[in-house]
């Protein structure tokens, strides 16, 4: 089964370079990478093309014009070029560890999506990681314990690997905490709900809306913690001017029981 990693980015090539380093170090090599670029400058394209030339797997750069925060549209466009049967959405500032793809593949199950989690790096530690190109994707647990002791990260629990079994299915009908910075689902399910709804403009709840529509379709949420945790580099908060309006739009979606995006994949057909 080919896994398609869809990685969003916007004008942060240093962070994207760290993410790509983590992806190239994966134990499971049965995947491709689609960079969903929301309008970055030329240096991001150069980074992706340079990385792709020496990579043992497909890395494609899917760019759209910069017209404000349109992560949903960027992901939809990248999906249209994806060849995989299974999708994993990842943000361009979330560094995966070597077992990331392997764990998502292990947890993949028809009728389910897998919501992963993350640890947060501090601003100063993020600057240190990027300035010195530290290979944090390969760090050991003792190194992360030391980082936690000095306040460089907020927790270490997501770095542990635990089987959990049926506990992963608790909260199967909850959309809360489903974030597309770390989310696995079947390409057929994504297509069935018409992808991300681009009616959600600006930052806020476009990933929650996707989760709600998947749940309405009958796809259940599986807990990906203690398996798929990623390392989230610090960044400034996005402009939240549209947060309230997007929240109201999400509430209408929850009440409606709809499954398909109003402005989704079909507009590109």
CATH class of residue range 3-268: alpha beta
pLDDT in tens, the chain (269 residues): 999 999 999 999 999 999 999 999 999 999 999 999 999 999 999 999 999 998 999 999 999 999 988 999 999 999 999 999 999 999 999 999 999 999 999 999 999 999 999 999 999 999 999 999 999 999 999 999 999 999 999 999 989 889 999 999 998 999 888 898 999 999 999 999 999 999 888 777 899 999 999 999 999 999 999 999 999 999 877 666 677 888 898 898 889 999 999 999 999 97
Q: Where are the domains of the chain?
A: 3-268
Q: Are 161 and 227 in contact (CB under 8 A)?
A: yes
Q: What is the pTM of this model?
A: 0.95
Rounded Cα gap, residues 63 and 69, in angstroms: 13
Rounded Cα gap, residues 260 and 222, in angstroms: 21
Rounded Cα gap, residues 79 and 185, in angstroms: 12
Q: Spell out where the chain has E strands.
A: 3-9, 31-37, 59-63, 86-91, 94-95, 112-115, 118-120, 182-186, 220-223, 230-232
């Amino acid at each position: 089964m080919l896994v398609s990693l869809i990685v969003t980015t916007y004008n942060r090539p240093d962070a994207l370079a760290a993410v790509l380093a983590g992806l190239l170090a994966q134990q499971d090599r049965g995947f491709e990478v689609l960079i969903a670029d929301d309008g970055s400058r030329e240096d991001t394209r150069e980074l992706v093309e340079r990385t792709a030339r020496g990579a043992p797997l497909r890395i494609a750069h899917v760019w759209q014009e910069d017209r404000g925060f349109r992560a949903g549209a960027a992901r939809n466009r990248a999906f249209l070029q994806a060849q995989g049967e299974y999708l994993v959405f990842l943000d361009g500032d979330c560094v995966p560890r070597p077992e990331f793809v392997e764990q998502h593949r292990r947890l993949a199950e028809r009728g389910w999506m897998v919501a992963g989690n993350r640890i947060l790096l501090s601003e100063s530690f993020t600057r240190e990681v990027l300035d010195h190109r530290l290979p944090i994707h390969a760090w050991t647990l003792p190194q992360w314990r030391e980082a936690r002791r000095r306040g460089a990260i907020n927790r270490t629990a997501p770095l542990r690997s635990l089987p959990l079994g049926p506990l992963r299915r608790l909260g199967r009908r909850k959309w809360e905490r489903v974030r597309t910075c770390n989310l696995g689902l079947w390409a057929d399910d994504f297509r069935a709900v018409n992808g991300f709804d681009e009616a959600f403009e600006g930052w806020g709840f476009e990933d929650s809306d996707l989760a709600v529509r998947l749940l309405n379709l009958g796809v259940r949420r599986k807990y990906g913690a203690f398996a798929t945790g990623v390392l989230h580099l610090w960044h400034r908060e996005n402009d939240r001017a549209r947060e309230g309006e997007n929240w109201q739009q999400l509430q209408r979606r929850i009440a409606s029981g709809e499954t398909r995006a109003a402005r989704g994949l079909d507009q590109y057909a």
